[in-house]
Amino acid sequence: MSDPTLRDRHAHTTLRLIGPDPEDWVVNRDGIDHNVVIVGGGQSGTAFAFGLRRAGIGKVSVIDGAAGAPQAGVWATRARMQRLRTPKTLAGPEAGLPALSFQAWYEARHGEAAYAAFERIGREDWAEYLAWYREFLGIAVRYGTTLTRIEPIGGHFRLHLDVRHGDDVVRRVETARKVILANGVAGNGKPNVAAPLAVLPRTHLAHTSDAIDFAALRGKSVAVVGGAASAFDAAATALEAGAADVHLFVRRALLPSLPVTRARAYPGAYDNYPALPDALRWRQALRFRRAGSTPPADAVSRATRFPNFHLHLDAVWQRATVEGTRVAARVNDATFAFDFVIAGTGYAVDLHARPELADLADHVLLWRDHYTPAPHEQDEALGAHPYLGAALEYLEKAPGTAPFLRNVHVFNPAAFVSRGLPVGDVPSMKRDIPAVIRRISEDLFLDDIEAHEARMSAVVAADFEPSLYVDSVYREERVEPAQSR
């Protein structure tokens, strides 16, 4: 089917059958530009935009610092896997509407047999599906727009934005009542590049979050540090680009191979995880940390099929310097020389590392402020995660000092300890997007309760007059008793 209308007829039918979008019921406030600003135009941001629209919440704006749609999100930039990590059967951004799902989209283009033939979704197919989702649903994203500061002002925020127009940057200030941080893996922190790698200049070092010119690594000797999926993806991409050799260094004696989160992937644990006691959520997060992030088997074999790939286990970098044009690395008791180093060492949660959170960071309740684990369960990295509320909102470190925090919702991996998943990935969508939308709706409604009470108590015209039924009103016939003679 080449006609897009015919190809997506089920999706068109679904939108018709669920009816038009509800009218915007949110009370308009003078001086407020947006009811909700969603930071991030990738899969999460567009799903939120659709969900809020279906909830009747208007004046929603989606912003993204990327120059355009192809650069938004990670699928055409930082993501280098061949297939998604998660099963194809997981619910995504379709909001419970099967005709908007990846499966429906893919089968409309390639058929049911083609969908049944693979286990995990191809990265490029997923990127194409998300582009269709955004365009089909008419989700507008303001690209080239970067949030630089969230400034609390009474009951709302002043959002400081850098807006790119070609080579020029225009600074703007807009106001919003709610903010959703759907801004990716570093949305509450920064790429984790620890010593000794941090001393290397950018000419010789990149993090996997960077836009790496792999073509420039052709014929070069490359080091990759890290044992998770992104490290193996970077190593394989460098080898496929013609690197002379790639050495991958892992601190552990064995590659992490136990996907411990799979043990709590059943509906009971998934649906009710946020209600678990703090101690249990902490232990689950700690179990994951100690087991390590597991690279998929196909990501490992993608690299190991190259004879010029070399895996170093139990390998700790002690020193790294640039000597001449190359990086001299001291690893354990051995010395190596590389042309380029890639850090696949993940991300650190650190609210103070985000300029846009400067007015908020000191007030946010962190796990280390709220929960004290036993000495053998201490973990500094987990303690730096924000302790989030039921709708993934920031909570106050000191109650009553920063009530505005409830209006910032965190839909990125900083929610991991609170929610048990890397929030922002596909597995978090079914449970957590509706929870955030429900709270936003409730807050916007209750914050203007007087206006809504007046609206709900307004005079309502009758649908009909008594004349419509008066002639049919039953009247009992009375029989007069016979008079005695």
Say how many C-beta atoms besides its own lie within 10 A of residue 263's C-beta. 11
pLDDT for 484: 57
**Is 138 in the same domain as 38?**
yes
- Which of 316, 345, 374 corresponds to the end of one domain? 345
Q: Are 26 and 155 members of one domain?
A: yes
- Residue 283 token pair: 């232990």
Residue 262 lies in a domain: no
Same domain? 66 vs 175: yes
What span, in angstroms and rounded, lies between the C-alpha atoms of 281 and 283?
5
* Domain around 241: 193-256+292-345
User: 55 with 107, same domain?
Assistant: yes
pLDDT at 1: 45
- 284: number of CA atoms within 13 Å, CB side? 22
Q: What is the CA radius of gyration of the chain?
A: 28
Cα 108 to Cα 112: distance, rounded to the nearest angstrom: 8
Q: How many domains does the chain divide into?
A: 2
Q: Which of 342, 318, 162 is nearest to 238 (CA)?
A: 342
Q: What is the CATH number of the domain that holds 309?
A: 3.50.50.60
Same domain for 43 and 143?
yes
Determine, yes or no, domain membership for 59.
yes
Residue 476 lies in a domain: no
117 with 250, same domain: the answer is no
Statement to judge: residues 34 and 60 lie in one domain: yes
Is residue 67 included in any domain, yes or no? yes
Q: Which of 324, 345, 366 is the last residue in one of the domains?
A: 345
What phi and psi, each to the nearest 5 degrees, are found at residue 214? -70, -25
Residues 203 and 85 in one domain: no
Note whether 174 and 299 are same-domain residues: no
**What is the model's pLDDT at position 78?**
84
Same domain, 20 and 132: yes
pLDDT reported for residue 482: 67
Burial of 445 (0-12, 13-18, 19+ CB in 10 A): middle
Residue 455 resides in a domain = no
**Domain stop point among 345, 364, 379:** 345
In a domain, 263, yes or no: no
Each of the 485 residues of the chain gets a pLDDT tens digit; together they read 457 777 899 999 999 999 999 999 999 999 999 999 999 999 999 999 999 999 999 999 999 998 887 777 788 888 899 999 889 999 999 999 999 999 999 999 999 999 999 999 999 999 999 999 999 999 999 999 999 999 999 889 999 999 998 889 999 999 999 999 999 999 999 999 989 999 999 999 999 999 999 999 999 999 999 999 999 999 999 999 999 999 999 999 999 999 999 999 999 999 999 999 999 999 999 999 999 999 999 999 999 999 999 999 999 999 999 999 999 999 998 999 999 999 999 999 999 999 999 999 999 999 999 999 999 999 999 999 999 999 999 999 999 999 999 999 999 999 999 999 989 999 999 999 999 999 999 999 999 999 999 999 999 999 999 999 999 999 987 777 766 55
Residues 190-213: b if buried by 16+ CB within 10 A, e if exposed: ebbbeeebeebeeebbbbbbeebe
Question: Between vectors from CA 385 to CA 380 and to CA 389, what angle results, nearest 5°?
Answer: 145
Is residue 264 a part of any domain in this protein? no
Residues 207 and 322 in one domain: yes
Is there a domain that residue 441 lies in? Answer: yes
Q: Are 78 and 208 in contact (CB under 8 A)?
A: yes
At residue 388, what are phi and psi to the nearest 5 degrees?
A: -100, 155
Say yes or no: 238 and 170 in one domain.
no
